[in-house]
Structures are given as C-alpha cells and as structure tokens.
Amino acid sequence: MDFTPHSDADVTRMLGILSLERPEDLFSHIPEHARLDGALDLPTPLSEPEVMARIGGMSARNTAGLTCFAGGGIYDHYLPPVVRALTMRPEFVTSYTPYQSEVSQGVLQVLYEFQSMVAAITGLPIANASLYDGPTAGLEAVNLAVAATRRSEVWVSRGLNPHTREVIETFAHARDLTVIEHPIVGGRTAWAHDAPGEPAAMVFGQPNYLGVIEDYDEAVALAHDKGALAIAAVDPIMLGTLRSPGAAGCDVAFAEGQPLGNPMSFGGPVVGLFAVTEKLMRRVPGRLSGRTVDRFGRTGYTLTLRTREQDIRREKASSNICTNQTLNAVAAAIHLSWLGPNGIRETANQSIQKAHYLAKRIEQIKAVHIGVDSAFAREFPVLLPLDPDEVVLAMAERGYLAGIPLPHHYPDLPGGLLVAVTEQRTKEDLDGYATALEEVIADA
C-alpha cells in the first residue's frame, strides 16, 4: 500500500519545476558516504487484505477473551458503545494539540470538561488535561512536591502500586532523591510516624494496591505535620462511593484513568489523571485548557498558563511533557458524562459487592485464604497453596484470567494472587471462578 497521492507523472512534473532529475537528487546535499547505498532489510509491501490477515492473526494469538479478574490499576469495566463511537470521531482522533484555538474549540472544550469532571471526582479544584498514565502521573506528583517543598526525600507506602514505585525509583535515582518505603501490615500502611527526615511528599494508594482502604486522616495529618504534601493515588471508579482525596485534605491526587472510557489495551494507551489544590496551580505539569472569550465576547477555550510548559519555559518548565493522552482524556470525559453521579456510584458499589461475594466464596476453598484483614473495596489478595503463576495458567485453560501474581513485588506473600472484580462480572462468573479455582487446587 501507499498513502502518498503522487502519481509518477506528478513526481516528474514537480521535480522538473525544482530543476531536479531523479527523486534521489532531493538528497544530494547529504554527505554521500552517510547515505544508504544498499537496500535495508525491510518487509515487502503488503496489500490491505494481506496486512489485515497478518495483524488479525497476531490479534487472534492473544487470549483477550478470558473472563478478567486482573486489576492492579487496569480494570475490565463496562465500556458503552456510545462512548467509543464519540471518542473515535476523526475530528478528535486526527487533530494535533490544540495550539490553534480557533479551529480546536472541540478538543479544548472537551478538555475543559475533562478537567472539571476530574476535579469533581477528586474533590480538588484544579486538574490538568492528562498525563501518560497513573504511574508516570505519580512521578510528576513527586516532582511537583520536590519543587514545591525544596526537599529531596519522599515517603511512599508499600501499598502504592509497585509499578508506580518503580517509576518513581527510576526518576529518583537520576535526581538523587531518597525514597523511603513504609511497610504494610495486615494490608494497610503502617506509617512510621517518628521516622527521621523531611519528606517532600507522602504517597499512598487509596484503595491501595492490595485493594485495602487506607486511613485518610492519619496519612494527611502526618504529612502535613511533617511539612510534606499528602499525595493519594486513587481508583477513579471507587471515587463513585469513597471519600475524595480533596475532601480528605490531600494536596495532590493522581490516578490511572483507564477505567474511565478506555479499553484495557494491554496497558496503553491509558491516561493519567492529576489534580491539585488551588495553591499548587502554577506548578501543575502538562496542559491546561482555560475558559476565555473571543473578540466578540463569545465564550471560547484556550491552552493557558503556558509559561509552565516546555515549549515556552524550556529547561525551567514544570515538566517535559508535550504529547499527552488527550484522546484517552476525551474518552474519560465522555464516559464520566455517561456515568453521571449515580452511574459511577452504582458501578463502584456493584464492583465492591461482587468482590466481597467472591471473597466469601473463595474463603470456603480449602487451603486458600484472603491475604488481608482490613476492609477492602473491589480488589483483594488471595493466598494460595500453589505458585500463583502456575495457577494463572491453569485458570486460563478454564477461561479465566485469574488475577495478578503478587510474589514478584511482594515476596512476603509467596502464594499471593491479586483478584479484582468489576460490575461486569456476573454471579455466574463469580461462582464459576470459585469452582474453577477449587478444581485447580484439588488437581495439583
């Protein structure tokens, strides 16, 4: 296939006008010895049906059809066709970052509404127009805290998503930041209240990675006591029923926004949500869409507070982010408006109810235990008498993606499997899962 419109005659005509002979002449000013002389080892072109057969074959060799009980930030929530249809409008899909506001009012207004709805669910007044994903949003939160406090120590809960911790580590390493991990006990963070040091931030998951609901007041009070920013990593769907980080007094909230309007997509593209208090507004990383007026006084939207950004501020920018995850933010905005206050609450409550139903079922399996003794929301660790990696493969044969094996990140939970439930799982799925798990364990 070829997506250039030029016919051979077109090329000849254009070259002629440019007083060139052959297409190669376009590159004659490039030092000759640098230029490629032999052909590269690249694939032969395919026709469209051939490409489709090839890529379709790759798609078929993934077991996306398994009934999904894996979570860890990426959840299998119901994604209505209407959200998908609107998100994929070519005007949203094929436009660039809305620098040219007069012809980008669509994207700019959706981003303004996205910011507003992220503010609504987080209970914080300012939200940006998206970051790459939850974990990199965590990095930006830490970076913001470091800049705002001029400190270089970061306290993180071991209950924070391990991938978020790893991303923070990667960054901290380069910037000579000290990251102190606080343990989890019985599923909840046991903050070392009198640990020494001057943390820039205290970062925790709410619910945390094991699904457990943390104590907001303790964390926020401690953070503020230490002069640190309280930073919560939240599950956006759970905000349908849980107290918001803003209401709890957090300074910054970030989230993996995938469950809002985005398919699981093997983990990307998804979307990072990021919200802060008004005080931190000018430190926010990434784009902000703001409301203003045109010269006739008509309401319009524009990218604003641009002096925080790399293209204006260069090495002094609050972040290096340029391309973000706008289309995923558009999806999130559309999904949030589809859900509304009652839809998001019902989704959250059903997920929680079903998780607890499943936990009760699983508890009855011999030699299997729930791995936390604190209140959890829609996700929980199961302790198995077998290697959870093996269990996942065995459960896949029975049609289930059983969860995320925990030992890789929590060696102290050797038989741990993290099980997530969404409103999409029917009673039949839940019962079937428990039965299959029982069989797998009995078969071992």
Partner 1 sequence: MRDPGARASSTPLVGGSAEPTLRDLSAPGRQAWSLPDLDVPRRNLDLPEMADAPPALPEVAERDLVAHFTRLAHRNFGVDLGAYPLGSCTMKYNPKVCDWAAELPGFRDLHPSAPAQLTQGILEAVVEAERILCELTGMSRASFQPPAGAAGELTGLLIMRAYHQEKGHPRHKVVIPDASHGTNPASVTLAGYEAVSVPSNAKGMVDIDALRAVVDEDTAGLMLTNPNTLGLFEEDIEVIAQIIHEVDGLVYYDGANLNAILGVVRPGDMGFDIVHSNLHKTFATPHGGGGPGSGPVAVVERLIQYLPGPIPTPAGDGAIVWEQPAASIGRVHGNHGNMLVVVRALTYMLALGGPGLERVAQRSVLNARYLEHLVGKEYAIPYTAPCMHEFVASAENLKKETGIRAMDVAKALPDYGFHAPTVYFPLVVDEALMLEPTETESPETVEALAKALLEIADVARQDPEYLHDAPHHTPVSRLDDAGAARSPVLTWFMEDSQ
Ligand X SMILES: Cc1ncc(COP(=O)(O)O)c(C=O)c1O
* Least spacing, CB of residue 128 vs ligand X, in Å: 15
Question: In the range 32-91, which residues lie near a second copy by CB under 8 A?
Answer: 48-49, 52, 78, 80-81
Point out which residues bind ligand X (CB under 6 A).
Answer: 322-323
Q: Which of 18, 367, 442, 444 binds partner 1 (CB under 8 A)?
A: 18
Asked if residues 156 and 168 have their Cβ atoms less than 8 Å apart, the reply is yes
Residue 32 vs 194, nearer CB to partner 1? 32
Other beta carbons within 10 angstroms of residue 198's beta carbon come to 12
Nearest approach, Cβ of residue 107 and a second copy (Å): 18
User: Given the complex with a second copy, which of 78 and 357 has the nearer CB atom?
Assistant: 78
92 binds a second copy (CB under 8 A): no
Q: How many amino acids of this chain bind a second copy (CB under 8 A)?
A: 7
> Does 24 contact a second copy by CB under 8 A?
no
| Cα–Cα dist 405/177, whole Å | 30
Q: Is 279 in the site for partner 1 (CB under 8 A)?
A: no
Binding pattern to a second copy, positions 415-434, x when CB under 8 A? Answer: ---------x----------
What are the phi and psi torsion angles at 188 (to 5°)?
A: -110, 150
User: Token digits for 114?
Assistant: 């996205």
- Residues 210-239 as x/- pattern, contact with partner 1 by CB under 8 A: ---xxxx----------------------x
Nearest to 419 by CA among 46, 62, 65, 69: 69
Dihedral-angle region of residue 278 (phi above 0 means left; psi in -120 to 50 means alpha; beta otherwise): alpha
CB of 53 to ligand X, least distance (A): 31
Q: For residues 127 and 260, is the Cβ–Cβ distance under 8 A?
A: no
Residue 229 or 238 having the CB closest to partner 1: 238
| The residue to which tokens 């607890």 are assigned | 356
Place of tokens 């005080």: 279
Angle between helix 326-363 and helix 105-122 axes, rounded to 10 deg: 30
The burial class, CB within 10 Å (0-12 / 13-18 / 19+), for 330 is: buried
CB of 374 to partner 1, least distance (A): 9
Q: Which is nearer to ligand X, 320 or 435 (by Cβ)?
A: 320
Report yes or no: 107 and 330 within 8 Å, Cβ to Cβ: yes
Instruction: Report, in Å, the least distance between residue 73 CB and ligand X.
Output: 22
* 38: contact with partner 1 by CB under 8 A: no
- Decide if residue 264 touches partner 1 (CB under 8 A): yes
Least separation, in Å, of the C-beta of 351 and a second copy?
14
- 5 lies in the binding site for a second copy (CB under 8 A): no
CB count within 10 Å of CB 221 equals 15
Q: Minimum CB separation from ligand X for residue 310, in Å?
A: 8
Least distance between a second copy and beta carbon 89 (Å): 8
Q: What angle do CA 340, 204, 140 make, to 5 degrees?
A: 80
Spatial separation of the C-alpha atoms in residues 204 and 253, rounded to whole Å: 10
Residue 369 CB, nearest approach to partner 1 (Å): 19
- Exactly one of 179, 197, 337, 398 binds partner 1 (CB under 8 A); that residue is 337
At residue 349, the 3 state secondary structure works out as: helix
Decide whether 35 or 89 has the Cβ nearer to a second copy.
89
How far apart (Å, rounded) are the C-alpha atoms in residues 241 and 247?
Answer: 13
Q: What angle do CA 433, 439, 440 make, to 5 degrees?
A: 90
- Could you say which of partner 1, ligand X, a second copy, none residue 2 binds, taking C-beta under 5 to 8 angstroms by partner kind? partner 1
Q: How far out from the chain centre does Cα 343 lie?
A: 21
Is residue 181 classed exposed, middle or buried when 0-12, 13-18 and 19+ CB atoms within 10 A define those classes?
A: middle
- Residue (94 or 323) nearer to ligand X, CB: 323
Question: What backbone phi and psi angles, to 5 degrees, belong to 369?
Answer: -135, 160
Taking CB under 8 A as the criterion, which residues in 220-249 touch a second copy? none
Residue 78 CB, shortest distance to a second copy, in Å, is 6
Structure tokens at 367: 């030699």
269 forms part of the interface with partner 1 (CB under 8 A): yes
* Total residues at interface with partner 1 (CB under 8 A): 211
Q: Which of residues 39-58 bind partner 1 (CB under 8 A)?
A: 39-52, 54-58
Which residues of the shown chain bind a second copy in the complex (CB under 8 A)? 48-49, 52, 78, 80-81, 424
